[in-house]
Structure formats: structure tokens, C-alpha cells
Homo-oligomer: A and B are copies of this chain.
């Protein structure tokens, strides 16, 4: 993989001066097109040649229009970042549509270094690379074409470069102490990097390995490759924009599905309800406190038909919790900053730090429910969303979160009763909107979508809990008991 980048490629000064204005004009032209398009762009500059990376970045920034590009050089994660899944810091940096971001250092750095030093075994490393592959495919599909460069220096050149830097006070500080330590492991780094590149060079996000010895060759090659990649991405976007995806027919529920299996007649008397609420409330309070002390987080997502009682159930849960520990996130239409980022960005921004509780009143499952049924997402978008969501939840769970998803089920008749009640009770009227009636008309389609969702995203570490919610009291107590049970189990581990 690196052999072609050890042949001594170089460009002389004259050719360079002739070519730079051309590539600059190209880059500026594509930046303007990008700004007008629905695309963003992410550029990753990696590799072992620290000085070369900085030089390439400086060159790109001096050629691009500063108003449309930002760069981030990633150092060690901050404590806010360390308290969350590893990818949280990358989601924070994703560019909005119309803009470009250049990253020095990225999601590759930690696994490669850890693998070299034996802190990560081969199987885990491969899993990480697979995760990266999925992440990058998601980026591209979500309108963030990714251009990846790996700047390579042969061992001899690397040695020479480091020796030169050591003598030069002007550039010495550009390189961290670890560069010399890493060099001692040059061969192993090369080996691991090669397998990383091999595992993650995909059709949607291929690697561009660039020989880094000669400044002019490296910087010009990076720039021309980037210009070409941007042009391809823009053309690809244009050609698919015409092909509007065929609207899928509304799904129909199976006759014996998981939701219809529920016994909605289950209920509690006032007395049973009050007693259970008191008992399990005290238990929940204790468990949440222990969770906090164990530095783990709890994430609950609530879905269900309108008027299924999500708000009331959430309120009973939070009444048992210390208000300093939880936040309720009510998910409504995305803000414009959210709308110009990949779909899950608006949920990643609310991922809690260790020790905190987040409750989502509606959630990332909107993609496969309302957006699917109402056609806000294309078939292509919502159908790949299941896998993306599973990956999102796997990362949350790995970071130590206890994660539960509740489907509150009511019958269509009960919903109508509650709508009518809302319409006639003055202080409840605000809760009922035209949208609620619209959704109700598609009851069956929503049920079918919910069944698909439950089937495809219920996992061990993030199970769906179906709650019979025809009787509000039953639903609240069942939810509370379930949260307690899972917290107990997690804390016993």
C-alpha cells in the first residue's frame, strides 16, 4: 500500500508555480458550488509525517476561501469528551451543509496507537475499523463526502526529517515529543497503518496515500486530489438529485404482531397504583443515586401513538429523581442548525456525560416512524437508519450507559377518547394539534412501522419494552419497575 509512496516523487519549483493558480481556481470554484449545494465536505489528513500534515493544511487553508472552511487539529480529548462515547467529539466537529472541515488527526489515531502498543488486540482493532467504515459510509450517505489522505514517509526519510527538525528551533516545536518515541516503532506503525487503510478503503471513502517527502509534490497532490474528489461528489449529487426516490407504499401491519399481542386490559386500582408508585419510586431514587455514584448514565427513549401517556409517565419517573441528575429532551422539528447536519447529529449533541440521566420524549426513532410514514425521509434514508441507530446505541452502551426504549401502546379507540377529552378540557386543548389527527388517520401504517422498528432495533444492550398503556396507572408502574429492574441488573454487574 505504501510502496508507491516511496519512489521519491517530487515537483520542481517551476511546474509548481504554474500549477498552483490552476488548482486554486478549481478549489475556489468547487467551494462556491459546495456552498450552493446540499453537500458538506470533510477532509481528513492523516499519517506519520506530522510536519507534512501541518504544511499541507497550511497550503490548503491559504488556497481555499476561509469563509467556507474550518480546520481542527485534534489533541487529547477534553474531560467533557472523555465522559462520553469516543465518537462524540467527531460528531461535534461535523460540518453543516455548504461548508468544509479539515481534520488533522481523527477517529483513526487512537485505535492505531493502541494497536501498536498492544493495548488493543487484533479482533478489537478490526471491530473498530469496521465501525469507522460504517461511520464514514453514513457520512457520505448523509451528504458529507469524505476525502481521506494518508501522508507517507519511508523510514529513511522519516529519520532524516526528524533529525533535521531536532536541529531547527523554528520547526522543532511543531512536533510533539511522541514523534521520536513513535519512530522507534516505525515498522510496527507501518504494519498497523497498512491494515487500517486496507480495512477502511471503501468505494465511498477511499484512501489517497501521498508521498510526503517533497513539500511541493505533497501539497499540490493533496490539493488536486481534493479538487477532483469534490468535483466527483458534486456531480454525483447532481445526478442523483434528479432521480427522486420512489415513494414507498404505506406499510400494513401483520395480523399477529407484537403490538397486537399485548393484553391492553391490564390495569391497576387507585390503591395498588399509589402503593406501587411509592415503593418503586423510593427504589428508583436509590438506584439512580447509585448509578450516579458509579459514574454511569441512564438513557430512556419514549415512543408511542399521540396521547399514549408519554409525558405523564416521564413525569412520574422524574418525580423520583434528583432534579440535578436528569434532563428531559422533548424532540420536535429540527432547528436549522440540526437540519444541515447528518440525521443523528441532533441526538449526539444531547448524549449525557457519565453519571447523568437523559429522558427523550420522542427520539431518534422519528426517522423510522413519522419521517417514514409522512415521507419526510426517503426510502433510502429511513431503511439504512435502523443500522445507524443500532450502531449509535451500541456506542452508548459501550460507554457505560443503561439504555431502554419504551413503546407505550394504546388502542385506537382509547386514543380517540383521549383526543376528545383534550378537545373539551380547556387546559388540555394545547396538547391536541392538527398533526395528531393526521397521524391518527394512518394508525395502521404507524403500527406496522413500529413493529418493523421493534424487530430491527431491539437488542440486548438496548431493548424495546412494550408497555400496555390503555390504563395509565398500569403503564406508569410497569415503566418504573422495568427501569428499576434494568438498573439493578446493570449495577450488579
Contacts and interface: CB of A to CB of B under 8 A. Distances in A.
Given A79-B80, A427-B29, A62 B336 contact: no
B66 A322 contact: no
Copies of this polypeptide in the complex:
2
| Band of interface residues on A | 35 or more
A332 B96 CA distance: 14
A323 B66 contact: no
Contacts of A65: 311
Interface string A50-93: 00001001100110011110111100001110000000000000
A286 B169 CA distance: 10
Interface string A392-405: 00000000000000
Given A323-B73, A324-B104, A66 B335 contact: no
B66 A318 contact: yes
Contacts of A164: none
Interface in A294-335: 311, 314-315, 318-319, 322-325, 327-328, 330, 332, 335
A232 B132 CA distance: 53
A174 interface: yes
Given A328-B66, A330-B67, A337-B335, A427 B322 contact: no
A25 B314 contact: no
B327 A58 contact: no
Nearest to A324: B73
A173 interface: yes
B430 A322 contact: no
Contacts of A293: 173
A289 interface: yes
A32 interface: yes
Given A66-B311, A80-B80, A335-B337, 15 more contacts: A32-B430, A54-B322, A54-B323, A58-B322, A58-B323, A61-B323, A62-B315, A66-B328, A66-B361, A67-B332, A73-B323, A78-B80, A104-B324, A335-B335, A336-B336
Which 9 pairs of residues, A with B, have the shortest CB-CB distance?
A73-B324, A67-B330, A57-B323, A66-B328, A336-B336, A79-B79, A337-B337, A58-B323, A78-B80
15 contacts: A28-B427, A54-B322, A57-B323, A58-B322, A61-B318, A62-B319, A65-B311, A66-B328, A67-B328, A73-B325, A78-B79, A79-B80, A104-B323, A173-B289, A335-B336
